[in-house]
Amino acid sequence: MNEYGEVIECKMHDLVHDLAQSISKFECQNLGESNDTVDFSKCRHASFISPKTLKVLTNAKKVRTIFGWGSTSIKFDNGDTVGATKISSFFKFKLLRVLDLSGFRGSDFSSSLGKLKHLRYLDLSYTSIKSLPKLVTRLYHLQTLKLIYCRELVELPEDLMNLKKLRHLFIDDGKKWKKMPQAMGKLDELQTLPVFGACQENGISVLENLNNLRGTLEIRRLGLVREASLAKKANVLSKSKLRKLELYWDRYSSIGDEGSDLHMLEELQPHQNLHELFIEGFGGVQFPRWMSNGSLLPNLKSLMISNCSNCEHISSFGELACLERLEMRNMRNLNSIGGSKDDLMDTATTPQSSSYSCLKVLELSRMPNLEEWFEGNEVCSEELSIELCPNLRMTPHSFPSLKSLKLEYVSGTGVVSITSSLTSLTSLSITRCEDLEFLPEVLLMNNDQLIIFNVKECPKLQAFKGEGLMVSSSSLRELQITKCDALKFIPDVRGLTSLQKLEIERCRELETIPKGFWSSLVALESFEVFVCERLKGTIELSPSLKHLRKVRIMFCPNLERFDICSTEQLVIFPCRHTLEIYNCNAISSIDVRSFASLRELNITECRGLHALQGLLFLTVLEKLSIGSFSPALHYFPPLIREDDGDDAVDFNNLLPSLLELRIKGWPALRALPHHLQYLTTLNYLSIVEFDCLAELPEWIGNLASLEQLKIDNCENLTHLPSLTFLRKLEIGWCPNFESIKQPVLPWCHTSLHELEIWSCNGVTSIDLGSFVSLRKLEVTRCIRLQALQGLPFLTALEELELGPFSEDSDCFPSLLGCDYDDDNGDAVASNTPLLPSLRKLLIKGWPALQALPHHLQHLTMLKSLIIKDFTNLTELPEWIGNLASLAELEIWQCENLTHLPSKEQMQRLTFLKRLSGVGCPRLKGRCKRDGPEWPKISHIPFLDIY
């Protein structure tokens, strides 16, 4: 059921569905690639995946329906390719009722189309047709015609009037149509016409007799209508089945004036059954009376007005009894909404009913000159949003049902005016109110059901006025204060017993968090403070925070201490999950003993930290990120308590649940923390910026569970120890790391599946012969690399990324070794298949290269090839045709590429489904339909070259 209460679909029970399939199995067929054993003589309804499958319908003389699965993904060849079916294949089925040609790539249709005299449904969507074939207008029984997303189709023929039984005409983008045929007005059975484009000659009078239209009607280019009388001829008032009406003036084409727009809109009054009305670009200074008359629009549920820049005053829409949504946007000259002050005085002594009695959402946006909004009655809206109305000073005083209020770029006076009498709020957001200095004292006190309160980008906000402002806000669960630069004190939160989330961000003048701040926040689950540069002293959590799950403190350079309120006994937070302290340089010591249930701990970039205590207590910790700390330290802060000697610690039980460790060093460090060797459950280890390391310690081999190792920016690293359990290895930005050799790594790394090496300028060659189980290999930006040895041994390799390498070299490093090169370095045939499992290759070049590596022609099992940054490559080699399994070819940033391989070689790529090019301007022009490269690629289903 849709939004108008109309049934549009129904569900079928699985058993009923199975029964229907069983009964119709001979009449309904889904055509796959293999249907040779099926008897199609009784087939009436068929859907196909590829045009090639249509050949099996040769004996299907009674077929009534042909549908393509995926519509736009189905591409036809227009006759000039290998093994594909021509469009004329469809027209031999004389009894067709339904034909889906969506996605057909040609622009011409067979003359046989007119022979389908029984056709009821025709879909030509997503095609490149420039005009509707005249034969279509002879399909006298046609009921549905779909022309969605036909970019080049801009006009419909006058002969469309011949389709007397047409009920549904699906078109889109009303701005592109040059004109609508006058004869269309004779299609009096037409029910669906989503879009109509007005023209100067006949305005919109074509719609006069189309009184069966239903659903949505979008009328475009009303600015071209010369006279209001032409709009009256559209007879919109008689179209009782319309549920949504959209009116666009498209002001760039307007030829009328402000008065003519008003008269025109008066004549476009819809039927009282209308549910939704949208108006954009209207040029009048006011709206007609029918828009606010509840008796004329008794069923209207949604009203949206946009870009009516000349309008200065809008009357109240409070009489529209069924209105649920009201939006007004981008009205730069609007000064007032509703009645005047005198009107309010006249009604002050008279009891009034509520305005907008069914209203749920009310939005006012981008009205820079709006000053006054008067409503004599209560505004019963549940959601109110006012954005970019900086001059709004006066608003209605009563919103008895308001639950959600969003104010953005509203004056401080406007904020006070709107919020002073609110009592039912559950969500409040105040953003970019630049002159707001204090929040009204009664705001939170009166709204005792408030759940979410966000204050953002109010640079002059100094305080939450009133000491007891939040005492009565026991329902508040989320409080966010962001970019309030003048705020020096956090509001009194003693009454926020239900608060679950507290976030303070970019309050640059905030100096302290009171010591007793936390005592009443017994429900707090998440506390985050970011970029409070003047925040100093101590953040001292209370033992009452039993539900605390997440703490994040970032970029608070003057914060001196993070601690727990002192007690006689150790406090344990049972529900803790995450603790993150980042870039807090004044903190010298952190004790995490109270966070025994911690799952994730991140203490990084705290340059003043000298001690990290209590890690021994974190028995369920799974993720740990630490470093870098004080640059004066020559050692890493110990991972166990300083008062515990080695004899007192069970090293075999150190952090027994830890799975991931990221550790970052600094220049003065001399070694990795030796306690790391006891982390026997560790699965992932990242070592960053340990310049002291010439080689990893031998005890790394003790980490029996280690599967992933990342080494980044370790300047002096040259060797790696034996790591027999490793599945993934990443090495980057290690300038002295020269190569992976047999003495450094064991002969058979049968467990290693992924290897990534980047920006290691000391590497001259890499011997991959021992990595026989590799599935993914990336070697990039190693400027001295000369050769990759042993690549042919990687029979399990599935993904490969190579380059760029030395910018001074005019050739790619040798990839294959002697088995594939002759004495002159040219490729020769080999009995050994090259990388038989490789499916994806990304190869990046550099300006000195003028050709692709010739070794690539041996990758006959490759399915995806991406060529990137070969800026001086002018043509793709002929041997591309050898890549028999290639399905996707992508070319990126090859500015001088002009020629593809010959047509014969391109057509050898029988599995190629996609060819795309980005940043290849010369190739783009040559691959157009009239370009010299087009015959080479016209058979490829998906082309995307730009």
Express as a percent the part of the chain with pLDDT over 90: 45
pLDDT at 719: 78
- Cβ neighbours around 377 below 10 Å, total: 19
Among 57-71, 384-398, 631-645, the range of highest mean pLDDT? 384-398
Among 110-114, 181-185, 406-410, the range of highest mean pLDDT? 406-410
Range with the poorest average pLDDT among 272-281, 886-895, 937-946? 937-946
pLDDT at 37: 59
pLDDT at 499: 92
Select the more confidently predicted residue: 840 or 654: 840
pTM: 0.81
480 φ, ψ (degrees, to nearest 5): -130, 125
* CA pair distance 228, 198, nearest whole angstrom: 13
pLDDT at 387: 96
pLDDT in tens, 306-325: 999 899 999 889 899 999 99
Q: CA dist 432 to 72, 286, 370, 405, 456, Å?
A: 45, 30, 17, 14, 6
pLDDT at 86: 52
pLDDT at 72: 38
pLDDT band (50, 70, 90) for residue 570: low
What integer is the mean pLDDT of 136-149?
91
Q: CA dist 701 to 297, 713, 720, Å?
A: 79, 21, 10
User: Mean pLDDT of all residues in the chain?
Assistant: 84
pLDDT at 771: 85
* CA pair distance 30, 35, nearest whole angstrom: 9
pLDDT at 344: 44
* CA pair distance 395, 376, nearest whole angstrom: 11
- Cβ neighbours around 535 below 10 Å, total: 25
What integer is the mean pLDDT of 269-288?
94
pLDDT band (50, 70, 90) for residue 569: low
pLDDT at 543: 81
Select the more confidently predicted residue: 105 or 70: 105
Fold adopted by 1-153: 3.80.10
Check if the beta carbon of residue 725 is closer than 8 Å to that of residue 745: no
Express as a percent the part of the chain with pLDDT over 70: 84
What integer is the mean pLDDT of 48-56?
61
Domain boundaries, the chain: 1-153
What integer is the mean pLDDT of 440-451?
84
CB-based contacts of 650, cutoff 8 Å, min separation 6: none
User: Is pLDDT above 60 for 166?
Assistant: yes
Q: CA dist 690 to 126, 639, 715, 733, Å?
A: 57, 17, 7, 12
pLDDT in tens, 807-844: 888 888 877 654 445 444 444 445 556 899 999 999 99
pLDDT at 67: 80
What integer is the mean pLDDT of 565-575?
64
pLDDT band (50, 70, 90) for residue 87: low
Select the more confidently predicted residue: 642 or 13: 13
Select the more confidently predicted residue: 691 or 202: 691
pLDDT band (50, 70, 90) for residue 745: very low
pLDDT band (50, 70, 90) for residue 567: low
pLDDT at 644: 46
What integer is the mean pLDDT of 26-30?
77
pLDDT in tens, 888-930: 999 999 999 999 999 999 999 999 999 999 999 999 999 998 8
pLDDT band (50, 70, 90) for residue 645: very low
Q: Which residues pair with 540 in a beta bridge?
A: 563
Range with the poorest average pLDDT among 7-11, 23-27, 72-76? 72-76
Range with the poorest average pLDDT among 454-468, 480-494, 514-528, 841-855? 454-468
What integer is the mean pLDDT of 27-48?
70
pLDDT at 828: 44
User: Is pLDDT above 80 for 476?
Assistant: yes
- Cβ neighbours around 36 below 10 Å, total: 6
pLDDT at 493: 75
Q: Which helix (H) or strand (E) holds 712?
A: strand 708-712
User: Is pLDDT above 50 for 353?
Assistant: no
User: Is pLDDT above 70 for 349?
Assistant: no
Select the more confidently predicted residue: 585 or 225: 585
Select the more confidently predicted residue: 885 or 340: 885
Burial 628-659 (b: 16+ CB within 10 A, else e): bbbeebeebbbbbbeeeeeeebeeeebbeebb
pLDDT band (50, 70, 90) for residue 633: confident
* CA pair distance 503, 530, nearest whole angstrom: 8
User: Is pLDDT above 90 for 145?
Assistant: yes
User: Is pLDDT above 70 for 262?
Assistant: yes
Sign of the CA dihedral 305, 310, 312, 315? negative
DSSP, collapsed to helix, strand or coil, labels residue 695 as: strand
Dihedral angle of Cα 156, 162, 165, 166, to the nearest 10 degrees: 0
pLDDT at 210: 93
What integer is the mean pLDDT of 326-335?
95
pLDDT at 654: 84
User: Is pLDDT above 80 for 11?
Assistant: yes
* CA pair distance 486, 649, nearest whole angstrom: 50
pLDDT in tens, 245-255: 999 997 644 44
What integer is the mean pLDDT of 189-211?
88
